[in-house]
Amino acid sequence: MKKLQTLYKVRAGTWIADLVELKNLKKLGIGDLDEATMGLLTIAIAGGGLDKLRSLYLCYGKENGFSSNLLEALYEEYREEVYGFSLDLLEALSTNRHLQKLNLIGKIKKLPSKFPSNLIKLTLEEACFFEDPMLTLEKLQHLLFLKIYRVSYQGYKMVCSANGFPKLERLKISFISKLVELTVEEGAMSCLMTCKIHNCRWLKMVPQGFKFLTMLQKLKITMMPQSFEQRVKEGGEDWETIKHIQFITVRVRITCIYKFEDGSSRVQVSHYASRIEDEMNEKIFANYPSE
């Protein structure tokens, strides 16, 4: 067992205390974490027993597939105390110089002062942010991929400041409740190639700083309000900001309610691509690392 290199998506338990013995472990995935098992994991990481980790997946509790509406309700319910990943655990992780891929599923009440410095891929899911996460994340000098998904956010505005995210190539933001404005300052995310904005129903417009992103080749907008969609169409208010992007896809959700003579009804949800520049646009990303 001491030569084990991969231990992935196993259920949390008291066995976590023995992780310090797995000196060669490079890929670890643990689900169903609670306060007790998270404490054991914090001790194992802080003790240096997992310093060879390259990839880490952690899920606090069960993966529930929360919607943004439910996340907002949970925030109101647990306003004073949000359970999830402890600051002690996150700070312990920040010292791991070899960690390249990190996937955290669960609430985060407070971000650490820094994340592992050599991360190239980061996914944050089902978090409850009380402060702008970009202030911390943009300092990751080697980050290539960032996904923020199903997040309850209470700040209304996120800012990617000048020179932030210097190597970021792929950005995905989905289900971020109450996010009204995403600001991208000139010089931020200068290497960004693809961006997806999905179901952020409060977001008013495409970041105006996208006009500075000369390397941005693909923009995908899905499940956004009609007012947002109208802004990004040719001739819309945001068209001048994004017209340099080679491939733009806008997808909206159409809900049809069919009513029949017997009084019954049927709801059909479909997706319509209102603008796809080129059916072959995936070719340029064929050699890109999979998610």
Name beta bridge partners: 7. Answer: 28
Task: Using DSSP, state whether 74 is helix, strand or coil.
Answer: helix
> Could you tell me whether strands 194-198 and 170-177 are parallel, antiparallel, or unpaired per DSSP bridges?
parallel
What's the CA gap between 101 and 98, in Å, rounded?
9
Contact 237, 188 (CB under 8 A): no
- Tens of pLDDT, residue by residue over 248-260, are 999 865 545 555 6
pLDDT digits (tens, 9 = 90+) for 162-194: 999 999 999 999 999 889 999 999 999 999 999
Cβ–Cβ under 8 Å, residues 165 and 141? no
Domain ranges of the chain: 63-285
Q: In terms of CATH architecture, what is 63-285? A: Alpha-Beta Horseshoe (3.80)
pLDDT digits (tens, 9 = 90+) for 209-244: 999 999 999 999 999 998 998 999 889 999 999 999
136: confidence class by pLDDT, cuts 50, 70, 90: very high
Q: Which has the minimum average pLDDT: 30-34, 41-45, 276-280?
A: 276-280
Residue 47: per-residue pLDDT = 83
- pTM value? 0.83
